[in-house]
Homo-oligomer: A and B are copies of this chain.
Amino acid sequence: MARGNKLFCLSSGGYRIVKKGMNRVCELFNIKYPVIQAGMIWNSGWRLASAASNAGCLGLLGAGSMYPDIVRENIQKCKKATIHPFGVNVPLIYPDMDKIIQIILEEEVRIVFTSAGNPGTWTKYLKDRNVTVVHVVSNLKFALKAVDAGVDAIVGEGFEAGGHNGREETTTLCLLPLLGENIKIPIIAAGGIGSGTAMLAAMALGADGVQIGSRFAASVESSAHVNFKNAVIEAKDGDTQLMLKKLTPVRLLKNKFYAEVKAAEEHCATEDELKQLLGRARSKQGMFEGDMEEGELEIGQIASTIHSIKTVQEIVTEIIGDYNALVKKGFATF
Protein backbone atom coordinates (compact mmCIF):
# COMPACT_ATOMS: atom_id res chain seq x y z
CA MET A 1 0.00 0.00 0.00
CA ALA A 2 1.27 3.44 -0.88
CA ARG A 3 1.65 5.48 2.27
CA GLY A 4 0.22 8.92 2.81
CA ASN A 5 -2.31 8.79 0.01
CA LYS A 6 -4.65 11.70 -0.17
CA LEU A 7 -8.37 11.26 0.39
CA PHE A 8 -9.22 11.20 -3.30
CA CYS A 9 -6.90 8.33 -4.13
CA LEU A 10 -7.67 6.05 -1.25
CA SER A 11 -8.92 3.45 -3.73
CA SER A 12 -5.28 2.43 -4.04
CA GLY A 13 -5.47 0.62 -0.74
CA GLY A 14 -5.81 3.20 2.03
CA TYR A 15 -8.97 3.70 4.02
CA ARG A 16 -10.94 6.80 4.73
CA ILE A 17 -10.87 8.11 8.28
CA VAL A 18 -11.64 11.76 7.72
CA LYS A 19 -15.09 13.29 7.34
CA LYS A 20 -15.10 15.60 4.31
CA GLY A 21 -15.25 19.30 5.22
CA MET A 22 -14.16 18.71 8.80
CA ASN A 23 -10.60 20.04 8.57
CA ARG A 24 -8.40 20.72 5.57
CA VAL A 25 -5.22 19.37 7.13
CA CYS A 26 -6.91 16.14 8.20
CA GLU A 27 -8.34 15.76 4.70
CA LEU A 28 -5.08 16.55 2.96
CA PHE A 29 -3.17 13.83 4.80
CA ASN A 30 -6.07 11.52 5.77
CA ILE A 31 -5.28 11.78 9.47
CA LYS A 32 -7.48 11.91 12.57
CA TYR A 33 -6.03 15.03 14.21
CA PRO A 34 -4.68 18.14 12.45
CA VAL A 35 -1.35 17.67 14.18
CA ILE A 36 1.99 17.16 12.44
CA GLN A 37 4.93 15.78 14.38
CA ALA A 38 7.85 17.88 13.16
CA GLY A 39 10.67 16.17 11.27
CA MET A 40 13.46 17.22 13.63
CA ILE A 41 17.09 16.26 13.08
CA TRP A 42 18.37 13.58 15.51
CA ASN A 43 14.89 13.23 17.03
CA SER A 44 12.54 12.12 14.31
CA GLY A 45 13.43 8.58 13.36
CA TRP A 46 10.97 5.78 12.52
CA ARG A 47 10.00 5.18 16.16
CA LEU A 48 8.80 8.75 16.67
CA ALA A 49 7.18 9.09 13.24
CA SER A 50 5.32 5.78 13.43
CA ALA A 51 4.19 6.46 17.00
CA ALA A 52 2.84 9.88 15.94
CA SER A 53 1.02 8.37 12.96
CA ASN A 54 -0.36 5.55 15.11
CA ALA A 55 -1.61 8.16 17.60
CA GLY A 56 -3.66 9.87 14.87
CA CYS A 57 -1.20 12.60 13.84
CA LEU A 58 1.02 12.83 10.80
CA GLY A 59 4.46 11.50 11.67
CA LEU A 60 7.45 12.92 9.82
CA LEU A 61 10.92 11.44 9.48
CA GLY A 62 13.65 14.05 9.75
CA ALA A 63 15.92 13.37 6.77
CA GLY A 64 18.16 16.32 7.65
CA SER A 65 20.30 14.18 9.92
CA MET A 66 20.26 10.98 7.81
CA TYR A 67 22.46 9.61 5.02
CA PRO A 68 20.40 8.32 2.08
CA ASP A 69 20.67 4.68 3.22
CA ILE A 70 19.48 5.64 6.68
CA VAL A 71 16.48 7.44 5.17
CA ARG A 72 15.55 4.22 3.32
CA GLU A 73 15.98 2.13 6.45
CA ASN A 74 13.81 4.51 8.47
CA ILE A 75 11.09 4.57 5.82
CA GLN A 76 11.02 0.77 5.65
CA LYS A 77 10.88 0.42 9.44
CA CYS A 78 8.20 3.09 9.67
CA LYS A 79 6.07 1.25 7.09
CA LYS A 80 6.25 -1.88 9.21
CA ALA A 81 5.39 0.04 12.40
CA THR A 82 2.26 1.84 11.15
CA ILE A 83 -0.50 1.36 8.61
CA HIS A 84 -1.17 5.12 8.70
CA PRO A 85 0.24 7.86 6.47
CA PHE A 86 3.60 9.34 7.33
CA GLY A 87 5.96 11.71 5.53
CA VAL A 88 9.56 12.85 5.30
CA ASN A 89 10.95 16.30 6.05
CA VAL A 90 13.76 17.21 3.66
CA PRO A 91 15.85 20.36 4.12
CA LEU A 92 16.49 21.24 0.49
CA ILE A 93 19.95 22.71 1.04
CA TYR A 94 21.42 19.44 2.35
CA PRO A 95 23.75 17.39 0.19
CA ASP A 96 22.42 14.16 -1.33
CA MET A 97 18.96 15.66 -1.81
CA ASP A 98 18.62 14.00 -5.24
CA LYS A 99 19.31 10.59 -3.75
CA ILE A 100 16.93 11.14 -0.84
CA ILE A 101 14.11 12.28 -3.13
CA GLN A 102 14.60 9.16 -5.30
CA ILE A 103 14.48 6.91 -2.24
CA ILE A 104 11.27 8.61 -1.06
CA LEU A 105 9.70 7.95 -4.47
CA GLU A 106 10.98 4.36 -4.70
CA GLU A 107 9.60 3.65 -1.25
CA GLU A 108 6.27 5.23 -2.24
CA VAL A 109 6.10 7.75 0.58
CA ARG A 110 3.43 10.14 -0.60
CA ILE A 111 4.01 13.12 1.72
CA VAL A 112 7.08 15.38 1.70
CA PHE A 113 7.69 18.48 3.80
CA THR A 114 10.43 20.64 2.32
CA SER A 115 12.29 23.34 4.22
CA ALA A 116 15.42 25.48 4.07
CA GLY A 117 15.57 25.99 0.35
CA ASN A 118 13.74 27.04 -2.81
CA PRO A 119 10.29 25.43 -3.10
CA GLY A 120 10.55 25.83 -6.87
CA THR A 121 13.29 23.20 -7.12
CA TRP A 122 11.39 20.01 -6.32
CA THR A 123 7.69 20.80 -5.90
CA LYS A 124 6.54 20.15 -9.47
CA TYR A 125 8.72 17.06 -9.81
CA LEU A 126 7.23 15.58 -6.65
CA LYS A 127 3.65 16.57 -7.40
CA ASP A 128 3.91 15.05 -10.90
CA ARG A 129 4.72 11.81 -9.10
CA ASN A 130 1.63 11.97 -6.89
CA VAL A 131 3.39 13.31 -3.78
CA THR A 132 1.70 15.83 -1.48
CA VAL A 133 4.20 18.66 -0.92
CA VAL A 134 4.25 21.06 2.02
CA HIS A 135 6.84 23.81 2.38
CA VAL A 136 8.02 25.42 5.63
CA VAL A 137 8.30 29.23 5.62
CA SER A 138 9.03 31.97 8.12
CA ASN A 139 7.75 34.96 6.16
CA LEU A 140 5.09 36.00 3.68
CA LYS A 141 7.46 36.36 0.73
CA PHE A 142 8.51 32.71 0.80
CA ALA A 143 4.94 31.61 1.49
CA LEU A 144 3.79 33.28 -1.73
CA LYS A 145 6.76 31.72 -3.56
CA ALA A 146 5.76 28.29 -2.25
CA VAL A 147 2.15 28.81 -3.35
CA ASP A 148 3.42 29.77 -6.81
CA ALA A 149 5.52 26.60 -6.87
CA GLY A 150 2.29 24.62 -6.36
CA VAL A 151 2.65 23.25 -2.83
CA ASP A 152 -0.43 21.74 -1.16
CA ALA A 153 0.02 23.48 2.19
CA ILE A 154 2.32 25.84 4.06
CA VAL A 155 3.94 25.46 7.46
CA GLY A 156 4.28 28.95 8.95
CA GLU A 157 7.05 28.73 11.54
CA GLY A 158 7.62 31.50 14.07
CA PHE A 159 10.70 32.88 15.80
CA GLU A 160 10.06 30.81 18.94
CA ALA A 161 10.60 27.51 17.10
CA GLY A 162 13.65 25.37 17.78
CA GLY A 163 16.39 24.80 15.26
CA HIS A 164 16.84 26.85 12.10
CA ASN A 165 14.76 29.91 11.88
CA GLY A 166 13.87 32.97 9.76
CA ARG A 167 15.89 36.17 9.63
CA GLU A 168 12.82 38.40 10.09
CA GLU A 169 12.27 36.96 13.60
CA THR A 170 8.50 37.10 13.08
CA THR A 171 6.69 35.25 15.86
CA THR A 172 3.96 32.69 15.27
CA LEU A 173 1.34 35.11 16.67
CA CYS A 174 2.30 37.72 14.06
CA LEU A 175 3.05 35.36 11.16
CA LEU A 176 -0.26 33.46 11.16
CA PRO A 177 -2.64 36.41 10.60
CA LEU A 178 -0.34 37.69 7.87
CA LEU A 179 -0.37 34.31 6.09
CA GLY A 180 -4.11 34.03 6.65
CA GLU A 181 -4.69 37.36 4.88
CA ASN A 182 -2.72 36.30 1.83
CA ILE A 183 -2.74 32.52 1.44
CA LYS A 184 -5.72 30.39 0.45
CA ILE A 185 -4.17 26.90 0.80
CA PRO A 186 -4.06 25.18 4.23
CA ILE A 187 -1.77 26.78 6.82
CA ILE A 188 -0.03 24.72 9.49
CA ALA A 189 1.22 26.71 12.49
CA ALA A 190 4.63 25.91 13.96
CA GLY A 191 6.72 27.42 16.72
CA GLY A 192 5.62 27.76 20.32
CA ILE A 193 2.92 25.09 20.17
CA GLY A 194 3.24 22.45 22.86
CA SER A 195 -0.28 22.07 24.21
CA GLY A 196 -3.95 21.82 23.29
CA THR A 197 -4.52 25.41 24.37
CA ALA A 198 -1.77 26.62 22.02
CA MET A 199 -3.31 24.44 19.30
CA LEU A 200 -6.63 26.23 19.77
CA ALA A 201 -4.83 29.61 19.79
CA ALA A 202 -3.27 28.72 16.44
CA MET A 203 -6.66 27.68 15.04
CA ALA A 204 -8.15 30.99 16.29
CA LEU A 205 -5.41 32.78 14.37
CA GLY A 206 -6.50 31.04 11.18
CA ALA A 207 -4.31 27.93 11.09
CA ASP A 208 -5.83 24.69 9.79
CA GLY A 209 -3.50 22.58 11.87
CA VAL A 210 -0.33 22.64 13.91
CA GLN A 211 3.19 21.23 13.66
CA ILE A 212 4.66 20.31 17.02
CA GLY A 213 8.37 19.76 17.55
CA SER A 214 9.76 20.39 21.04
CA ARG A 215 6.98 18.50 22.85
CA PHE A 216 7.75 15.40 20.76
CA ALA A 217 11.50 15.84 21.24
CA ALA A 218 10.82 15.09 24.90
CA SER A 219 8.95 11.87 24.11
CA VAL A 220 9.97 8.30 24.87
CA GLU A 221 10.04 7.55 21.14
CA SER A 222 12.28 10.45 20.08
CA SER A 223 15.63 9.13 18.89
CA ALA A 224 17.48 11.87 20.78
CA HIS A 225 19.78 11.00 23.68
CA VAL A 226 18.13 10.88 27.10
CA ASN A 227 20.54 13.60 28.30
CA PHE A 228 19.05 15.92 25.70
CA LYS A 229 15.48 14.99 26.63
CA ASN A 230 16.27 15.69 30.28
CA ALA A 231 17.78 19.05 29.35
CA VAL A 232 14.60 19.92 27.45
CA ILE A 233 12.29 19.20 30.37
CA GLU A 234 14.56 21.16 32.73
CA ALA A 235 14.71 24.27 30.51
CA LYS A 236 13.34 27.51 31.97
CA ASP A 237 12.19 30.64 30.12
CA GLY A 238 15.14 32.46 28.66
CA ASP A 239 17.14 29.23 28.37
CA THR A 240 17.09 29.29 24.55
CA GLN A 241 18.30 31.99 22.20
CA LEU A 242 18.45 32.54 18.45
CA MET A 243 22.16 32.49 17.57
CA LEU A 244 24.55 32.31 14.61
CA LYS A 245 22.61 34.92 12.67
CA LYS A 246 25.64 35.58 10.44
CA LEU A 247 25.42 31.98 9.24
CA THR A 248 21.92 30.48 9.43
CA PRO A 249 19.95 31.59 12.51
CA VAL A 250 19.37 28.69 14.89
CA ARG A 251 17.65 28.56 18.29
CA LEU A 252 19.99 26.94 20.80
CA LEU A 253 19.53 25.65 24.30
CA LYS A 254 22.07 27.44 26.49
CA ASN A 255 25.14 25.34 27.36
CA LYS A 256 28.93 25.60 27.07
CA PHE A 257 28.82 25.58 23.26
CA TYR A 258 26.16 28.30 23.28
CA ALA A 259 28.31 30.40 25.62
CA GLU A 260 31.24 30.08 23.22
CA VAL A 261 29.08 31.19 20.30
CA LYS A 262 27.71 34.08 22.35
CA ALA A 263 31.19 35.22 23.36
CA ALA A 264 32.39 34.97 19.75
CA GLU A 265 29.41 36.98 18.49
CA GLU A 266 29.87 39.61 21.17
CA HIS A 267 33.41 40.01 19.92
CA CYS A 268 32.19 40.36 16.35
CA ALA A 269 33.48 37.02 15.09
CA THR A 270 33.52 36.72 11.31
CA GLU A 271 31.46 34.17 9.39
CA ASP A 272 34.57 32.02 8.96
CA GLU A 273 35.37 32.13 12.66
CA LEU A 274 31.80 31.12 13.49
CA LYS A 275 31.94 28.28 10.97
CA GLN A 276 35.15 27.06 12.56
CA LEU A 277 33.61 27.27 16.03
CA LEU A 278 30.53 25.38 14.85
CA GLY A 279 32.75 22.71 13.30
CA ARG A 280 31.14 19.48 12.15
CA ALA A 281 28.53 17.18 13.62
CA ARG A 282 27.95 19.41 16.66
CA SER A 283 24.23 18.73 16.63
CA LYS A 284 24.81 14.96 16.49
CA GLN A 285 27.28 15.27 19.36
CA GLY A 286 24.67 17.10 21.43
CA MET A 287 21.26 15.74 20.59
CA PHE A 288 22.16 12.18 19.54
CA GLU A 289 25.27 11.40 21.55
CA GLY A 290 24.23 13.34 24.65
CA ASP A 291 27.21 15.66 25.08
CA MET A 292 25.47 18.48 26.94
CA GLU A 293 28.58 20.68 27.06
CA GLU A 294 30.13 20.63 23.61
CA GLY A 295 27.06 19.64 21.60
CA GLU A 296 24.67 21.89 19.67
CA LEU A 297 21.26 21.57 21.32
CA GLU A 298 18.27 22.75 19.27
CA ILE A 299 14.92 23.27 20.97
CA GLY A 300 12.04 25.74 20.94
CA GLN A 301 11.16 28.39 23.54
CA ILE A 302 8.12 26.34 24.56
CA ALA A 303 10.50 23.87 26.28
CA SER A 304 10.00 26.00 29.41
CA THR A 305 6.48 24.55 29.71
CA ILE A 306 7.52 20.93 29.08
CA HIS A 307 8.17 19.16 32.37
CA SER A 308 8.21 15.42 31.68
CA ILE A 309 9.18 12.82 29.10
CA LYS A 310 6.03 10.98 27.99
CA THR A 311 5.04 8.53 25.31
CA VAL A 312 3.76 9.97 22.05
CA GLN A 313 0.34 8.47 22.77
CA GLU A 314 0.22 10.22 26.16
CA ILE A 315 1.30 13.51 24.61
CA VAL A 316 -1.29 13.33 21.84
CA THR A 317 -4.07 12.28 24.22
CA GLU A 318 -3.24 15.24 26.44
CA ILE A 319 -3.02 17.78 23.61
CA ILE A 320 -6.25 16.68 21.93
CA GLY A 321 -8.01 16.29 25.29
CA ASP A 322 -7.04 19.79 26.39
CA TYR A 323 -7.97 21.22 23.00
CA ASN A 324 -11.40 19.55 22.99
CA ALA A 325 -12.09 20.52 26.60
CA LEU A 326 -11.32 24.17 25.87
CA VAL A 327 -13.47 24.15 22.72
CA LYS A 328 -16.36 22.63 24.66
CA LYS A 329 -15.92 25.06 27.57
CA GLY A 330 -16.08 27.93 25.10
CA PHE A 331 -15.43 31.61 25.65
CA ALA A 332 -17.48 34.53 26.93
CA THR A 333 -18.65 37.05 24.36
CA PHE A 334 -18.64 40.79 25.07
Contact = CB atoms under 8 A, between A and B. Distances in A.
B174 A192 contact: yes
A167 interface: yes
Interface in A281-334: 300-302, 304-305, 320, 323-324, 326-328, 330-334
A29 to B, nearest CB: 13
B326 A204 contact: yes
A33 interface: yes
B170 A301 contact: yes
Contact of A201 (B33, B202, B241, B302): B202
A195 B171 contact: no
Contact of A237 (B168, B302, B320): B168
Interface string A183-202: 00000000111110110111
A192 B204 contact: no
A178 interface: yes
B328 A170 contact: no
Question: Which of the listed residues A195, A204, A333 has the most CB atoms from chain B within 10 Å of its own CB?
Answer: A204
Interface in A142-196: 158-160, 167-175, 177-178, 181, 191-195
Given A34-B334, A320-B334, A327-B333, A197 B192 contact: no
Contacts of A324: 333-334
A156 to B, nearest CB: 11
Question: Which of the listed residues A236, A304, A330 has the most CB atoms from chain B within 10 Å of its own CB?
Answer: A304
Interface residues on A, range: 35 or more
Question: Which of the listed residues A33, A178, A193, A241 has the most CB atoms from chain B within 10 Å of its own CB?
Answer: A178
A173 B193 contact: yes
A218 interface: no
Given A139-B238, A167-B238, A268-B268, A201 B178 contact: no
A23 interface: yes
Nearest to A302: B174
A170 B300 CA distance: 10
A322 B213 CA distance: 30
B177 A197 contact: yes
Contact of A305 (B174, B201, B267): B174
A197 B187 CA distance: 15
B330 A330 contact: yes
A22 B331 CA distance: 10
Interface of A: 22-23, 26, 32-34, 139-140, 158-160, 167-175, 177-178, 181, 191-195, 197-198, 200-206, 236-238, 241-242, 266-268, 300-302, 304-305, 320, 323-324, 326-328, 330-334
6 contacts: A169-B238, A173-B201, A174-B304, A177-B195, A177-B197, A181-B305
User: A-B pairs with the 8 shortest C-beta distances?
Assistant: A168-B238, A173-B192, A201-B201, A268-B268, A174-B301, A171-B171, A201-B204, A200-B204
